[in-house]
Amino acid sequence: MTKYEYKLYDKPAWCPGCGNYMIRTALKQALEELGLEPHQVVISSGIGQAAKMPHYIKVNGFNGLHGRALPPAIGIKLANKDLKVIVESGDGDSYGEGGNHFIHTIRYNIDIAHFVHDNQIYGLTKGQASPTTAMGQHTTLQFDGVKAEPLNPVALALTMGAGFVARGFSGDIPHLVNLMKEAIMYKGYALVDIFQPCVVWNKVNTFAWYKQRVYHLPDDYDYTNRKEAMKKAMEFGDKIPIGILYKVEKEPYEDRFDFIKNGPPLVDRELNPKDAEKLLRDFV
């Protein structure tokens, strides 16, 4: 048993062959290779199959409401800047119910690694279309095909000014491990949109479908060029690039406050009620 092996239940609730198993393997390997101890890491999640990740890996965890994984992650990071904060979430959870939080977390650029298990379907609730399901695709609820345009999460993240944007594939674990390591160590908000085929409810975007299409960005690709990153973000069809689309240095949100940046973590500071006396004098 590795130090990250953790079995809250006898066996995961994920279906046999689910891409979530590969993502869990990649995450554990990334944390091991970074030399992080379990107590130095916290995972925040919402609702969905991806959001069960804190049940199956031995780190600090918070499992909350649907689409609400990012707000507690922000609070955790502000309370204890020394923690490595990771959000594990699905495409419905992050881009649907949590879409507003997704946009505004990018604006803040708080130091969080956001791993989205993008299977282009709502798996937990039996297969209706998610924000990333293709237009025209038939699902268990959209019997005559989806009628809405799909969301492009990496293009949206670039548009909103994210400093780290990447795509991964759960069927390519070594490559995904490196992406996760880069995202966890990045100072600021880092999005890794991970293609994670749902073997039960999505019969279109299968492992075979992705293996025929994904390719690694070349070694000489300039990930500091935002214009080129947007071109790669829009590339989705017969060929789909995976890797770091865009990465530049940006000041993280918490470093914009001297009392956070230059002091001990808030959670370690002594709370003295007398500190409120000045405020009481001003307002009473």
**What is the pLDDT tens value at each position of the chain, 284 positions in all?**
578 877 666 688 899 999 999 999 999 999 999 999 999 999 999 999 999 999 999 999 999 999 999 999 999 999 999 999 999 999 999 999 999 999 999 999 999 999 999 999 998 888 999 999 999 999 998 999 999 999 999 999 999 999 999 999 999 999 999 999 999 999 999 999 999 999 999 999 999 999 999 999 999 999 999 999 999 999 999 999 999 999 999 999 999 999 999 999 999 998 888 888 888 888 87
Residue 128 DSSP class: B
Q: Which domain holds residue 114?
A: 19-281
Sheet arrangement for strand 113-118? 60-63, 41-45, 84-90, 113-118, 190-195, 164-169, 240-247, 214-216
Q: What is the helix (H) or strand (E) element at residue 86, kind and residue range?
A: strand 84-90
Instruction: List helix spans (H) across the chain.
Output: 19-34, 70-79, 91, 99-108, 153-159, 173-185, 207-211, 226-233, 258-261, 277-283
Euclidean distance between CA atoms 192 and 176, whole angstroms: 9
Joined together, the tokens standing for residue 78 give: 């502000």
End-to-end CA distance of the chain: 59
Residue 218 belongs to some domain of the structure = yes
Residue 2 belongs to some domain of the structure = no
Partnered with residue 216 across adjacent β-strands are 242
Residue 118 belongs to some domain of the structure = yes
Partnered with residue 241 across adjacent β-strands are 215
**Residue whose tokens read 């995961």:** 12
Residue 59 belongs to some domain of the structure = yes
Is residue 167 within 8 Å of residue 242, measured between CB atoms?
yes
Domain count, the chain: 1
pLDDT of residue 7: 65
Is residue 192 within 8 Å of residue 265, measured between CB atoms?
no
**Residue whose tokens read 């492992």:** 207
Prediction pTM value: 0.94
pLDDT of residue 267: 93
Residue 4 belongs to some domain of the structure = no
Q: In terms of Cα–Cα distance, which of 152, 169, 149, 154 is closest to 209?
A: 169
Q: What is the helix (H) or strand (E) element at residue 262, kind and residue range?
A: none
Helix (H, G, I), strand (E, B) or coil at 227: helix
Residue 116 burial by Cβ neighbours in a 10 Å radius (0-12, 13-18, 19+): buried
Q: What is the helix (H) or strand (E) element at residue 113, kind and residue range?
A: strand 113-118
Residue 14 belongs to some domain of the structure = no
Residue 12 belongs to some domain of the structure = no
Length of the chain: 284
Distance of CA 71 to the CA centre of its chain: 13
Euclidean distance between CA atoms 69 and 87, whole angstroms: 7
Q: Beta strand 41-45 with 84-90: parallel, antiparallel or unpaired?
A: parallel
Residue 123 belongs to some domain of the structure = yes
* Amino acid identity at 142: Q
Instruction: Give the CA distances from residue 192 to residues 110, 136, 176, 182, in Å, rounded to whole numbers and listed in that order.
Output: 15, 26, 9, 10
Joined together, the tokens standing for residue 45 give: 């999640």
pLDDT of residue 8: 63
Task: CATH number of the domain at 154, please.
Answer: 3.40.50.970
Euclidean distance between CA atoms 34 and 101, whole angstroms: 28
